[in-house]
Every structure is written in C-alpha cells, then in structure tokens.
Amino acid sequence: MRASSQASLEAAEQRWESVLADAGENALELGTELFAVVDVLDGSAALRRALTDPGRDGADKAQVVADLLGNKVSEAVVDLVSGMARSRWSSEGDIADALSQLAIDSMLASASAADSLEQVEDEVFRVGRLLAANRELRLALADSAIPVSRRQELLRTVFADKVSPATATLLDRSLGSVRHASLAAALTEISELAAHRRRRLVAVVTAATPLTTAQRDRLGEILARSYGRQVQVNVAVDPTVLGGVRIQIGDDVLDGTILTRLDDARRRLAG
C-alpha cells in the first residue's frame, strides 16, 4: 500500500485493537463479519469507489456504510468500516485489502485469547510445507478451471480434521482470496500477521535434518539479538540441502547450506 492507505490502515488497526481485546475469543465472530464485508466490497467496484472517493464528504461515506450494513453486522464492525470510509485511500481496492487484513487479525486475536495462537501458527506453517511437497494437490487447488467452492471442499477434505477450526476458516478464506497470487502467498500473510500479534518475526529455517529443541532455541536467541525482536523459528526439512541451514526472514535470506556453498564454488571455478 502507498502512504495514504498505509496510514489509514495503521489508524484502523489501533482503533480495532481495543475492540479485539474486549471481545476475547468472540473476536472470531468479528473476523467472520469483516470477511463478509470484504466479500461485498470485492463484488462491487461502484461501492469501493463510493467509500474511497476523496471528493466525497466523510460523513456521507459513513452514512453509506450505515445504510449498507445496518443490522447485518455488529455495531463495532459498522463503526470500524465507517471510520475507514472517512479516511484517505490511495486506490479504491486498498480499503478491501485493509479490511481483509483486519479480518485475519481478528481471528488470530481470538486464537490468542484462547491460548491457541501458536497452534494456529504452527498449523498454517505445516499446511504450507505439505503443499510445497505435494505438487498434485498444489496444482489442483490452484486450478482456476475448477470452481473455488469445489477447491475449498477439497481443502477441507484434506485438512479439516488435522487443524483447528480457526485455521480451517483461514485456509478456506485464503483459497478464495482475490488478493494473493497463490494459496502459499496467502498463508505467508497469515503467518506474518500471527507473528506480528506475538510481536515476533518469522524465520523459516530449512535444514537437511530436524533441529533439536536446544538448537531451535539457540537459533531463536541469536536471531532475536540480531533483529532486536523475538523471532519465531519454523523448521522445514529438505534433505537436498545436504548440510547447514537456510534462514529466511521476510526479504532477508541467510544461506549457509553445503549445496549453496558448492554452487558458489562452481561459479568461481567457471570464472
């Protein structure tokens, strides 16, 4: 998002956080309502333009929200969307993107209140790794020729009994998302938002063999000192790396695998 939209999102996050704190586990319902609003906005370019038109009075835009949502969602959601309509947005699609992010964060806040945020985080990571390793399933879920509803049904069949209800809902929404290039990208956003809620960065560590608990804790301490924040360490096992570890935190990649060092050596020898 560009500056205006990012500032509006951050202001909405600050207002919404107190609502989530009061809601506790019931924040899951608020997230569901926000996703319903996102669906309405995604389906109407005219409505997105009406709510983000910089030449339109803020009170008028807030009234559009009140008329549209009325008694269909909670008062807290109406107040949130009304406030966001009064804000400035760089492009009409940004308000729906921001609401989608707030919906995800609401569900994560519910999990946090239930002391299951770490479980959701771990489940999302494991689903991502399974999809990365299963090409047939990954392609089936990405096949745009198959209706989204059928792909969502497939996703539920594979994962519904293996993950918590909150994770299942987030997976379902991720597959139907119009704002991510792939399911993997949607899962990455969920992981990052979960880490942010826990005030942690996410480090995806790829190693030839599983790390011990002591190794994970030690690596987390080293990364926390380097980044000045707690770091959630997620480990993926890939025998092809031969040895060492590859660490990715956001756009930062620290690659110390034997395979990478061999590739570097080959390039130097090739001149």
Query: Mind listing the pLDDT tens digit for each residue in 185-240?
Result: 999 999 999 988 887 677 888 888 888 888 888 888 888 888 887 787 888 888 88
Residues 82, 96 share a domain = yes
Position 259 scores a pLDDT of 64
- Same domain for 130 and 76, yes or no, is no
Please report the pLDDT score of residue 266 as a whole number: 65
pLDDT digits (tens, 9 = 90+) for 89-99: 999 999 999 99
Whether 10 and 107 map to the same domain: the answer is: yes
Q: What is the β-pairing status of strands 245-249 and 252-255?
A: antiparallel
Do 109 and 120 belong to one domain?
A: no
Q: Are residues 101 and 127 in the same domain?
A: no
Residue 168 phi, psi (nearest 5): -60, -40
Identify whether residues 44 and 134 lie together within a single domain. no
pLDDT in the model for residue 261: 66
* 118, two tokens: 């770490």
pLDDT attached to residue 150: 94
Report the run of H or E that residue 234 belongs to, with start and end.
strand 230-237
Based on the fold, state whether residues 109 and 177 are members of the same structural domain.
no
Angstrom distances, CA of residue 59 to CA of 51, 55, 56, 157? 11, 12, 9, 46
Residue 80 in 3-state DSSP? helix
DSSP code string of 130-195: HHHH-HHHHHHHH-TTS-HHHHHHHHHHHHTTTS-HHHHHHHHHHHT-SS-SSHHHHHHHHHHHHH
Determine the pLDDT at residue 260.
66
Boundary-marking domain end, from 191, 209, 231: 191
What parts of the chain have a pLDDT lower than 50? none
Domain final position from 94, 115, 136:
115
Let me know whether 153 and 208 are in one domain: no
Euclidean distance between CA atoms 98 and 10, whole angstroms: 9
Residues 28 and 97 grouped into a single domain: yes
Q: Final residue of a domain: which of 191, 214, 243?
A: 191
Do 70 and 101 lie in a common domain?
Answer: yes
**Tally of domains within the chain:** 3
* The pLDDT of residue 1: 76
Q: Do 185 and 239 belong together in one domain?
A: no
Give me the domain span that covers residue 222.
Answer: 199-270
- C-alpha separations of 124 from 82, 117, 177, 188, 222 in Å: 32, 11, 16, 9, 24
What is the pTM assigned to this prediction? 0.76
Whether residues 173 and 231 share a domain: the answer is no
Give the neighbor-by-neighbor strand order of the sheet with 230-237: 230-237, 200-207, 245-249, 252-255
